[in-house]
Each structure stands twice: as C-alpha cells, then as structure tokens.
Amino acid sequence: MHLLSRYNLFIFDWDNTLVSASFLLNLTRYLKSRYWRKPSSIKIKNKLPTSRELSSMRLSDLEIESRIFSAAYSAYLAVQKPKLKPQAVKVLSQLKSSGKKVAIFSDGRSYRILKEIHIFDLGRYIDFALGANTIAKYKPDPTGLLYIMHRFKEGKKKSLYIGDMAIDIVTARMAGIDSCAISDGLSSVLALKREQPTYLFADLEAFLRAL
C-alpha cells in the first residue's frame, strides 16, 4: 500500500489509538459513541458541511463529555500509568525516520496528552500535539485537523488522520482529508466500516506493514 509515498503529514488520535486507555476513559468514550448522532440534515458523505451546518451540531455536548473524559483519566493516572499500544513506538519511529511530520489531535486535554508523551519519551517522534480544549473545538468539528495542516503548511491530499472511533472518520471527512481506522480500539469494525474510512487496519502492526 505504501502509505509513506502518499502522505507527508500523519495525524493520530491519542486514546485507544496509540495508548491503551483506562476503563473509566473507555466508558465515557463508549457513551459518546452510543449516544452521539449526526444530525440528519447534515450530508457529509459526498461534500463538506457549510459553516451553518457545522454550527447546528451539538458540539457543546461533546465538550461536556470531553471534560468528564479528562477528569476521569486524570484520576486514573494518579494510581496507574497508561500503556502504549504494541508497535506504537515502531510506527512513530518509522514515520520520523522517513522524514514525515507526525501530530496528535485528540478530544483529551492538552496537558494530559503532553504529560503522557513525556512519560513515554515520545517527544523525539511527535512534532506537535493538540488537545481539543485548547481551541474549544471538539470532534467532529474539523477545526483541529485544519489547524494542524495549516501549521505544517500541508495540503489535504497529503494529510492522513488515524483513529480508533467512528467519530474520528467523520472528523477527517469534514476536514476533507483521508482517514485510517484502527479497529482494535473502542468502535466496532462494523461501526468503522459504516463511516467508510479510506483505510481500515486491525491494529498498529497491520498499519506498520502498510507503510
């Protein structure tokens, strides 16, 4: 598949994509995926939404969920360290050694993501990390992805968003970029396929082989 030749900027979700999240974190993400619904008035399969359509989405609900999400995970970190997913370091190392830009965009809070990047000593591989709270724009709002692309002066055709949830695929579509679903996270394979990601891999090891 040779993804390295197709993209210059690889943007990753964090929780359950690169890091195995806690039970508390997974519970909030599950509730989010179960009860969040795309408004029927927004057609995002074949075109990008207008600013009016985006504003009609219940992003405030996502913001509330994200704050609960981060608080629960901070409590978890007080008693147990997070764990990197198998092959995460190899994936990031391969991308950096190939001269690619690597970024993080997550609904998690920036301070927590940066803390975990430090815990895992991943700073050498990750060029930039952005938590949605920093810009007050939460998935599926594409602002975070667009901001990162602008920061690196990279076009949509050369950017890829990698995540484990259906909402990650929707966010990438709204940003007008390709998406890659990793199916060993929280969303089921069926839920991921329903959103028609550009790529679908069983885990990071399969993703690594595609590089």
Lowest-confidence segment of 44-48, 70-74, 134-138 by average pLDDT: 44-48
Residue 73, pLDDT above cutoff 70: no
Residues 161-183: what's their mean pLDDT? 94
Q: What is the pLDDT of residues 84-126, one digit of tens each?
A: 998 999 999 999 999 999 999 998 878 888 988 998 999 999 9
Contacts of 25 (CB under 8 A, 6+ apart): 15, 69, 72, 73, 76
What do you get for the CA distance between the two ends of the chain, in Å? 7
pLDDT of residue 188: 84
Q: Name the pTM for this structure.
A: 0.79
Question: Which structure tokens are listed for 136?
Answer: 């007050």
Q: Which of 164, 186, 61, 54 is nearest to 106 (CA)?
A: 164
Strand partners, 9: 101, 159
Instruction: Please tell me what DSSP assigns to residue 30.
Output: H
Q: What is the pLDDT of residues 19-36, one digit of tens each?
A: 986 555 555 555 555 554
Q: What is the rounded average pLDDT for all residues in the chain?
A: 81
Residues 155-164: what's their mean pLDDT? 97
Strand partners, 130: 105
- Decide yes or no: CATH 3.40.50.1000 for domain 3-210: yes
CA angle (145, 108, 63) in 5-degree steps: 85
Burial classification of residue 170, based on how many CB atoms lie within 10 Å of its CB (0-12 exposed, 13-18 middle, 19 or more buried): buried
pLDDT of residue 87: 95
Pairing of strands 19-20, 83-84: antiparallel
pLDDT of residue 22: 55
Helix or strand run (H / E) with residue 66: helix 59-77
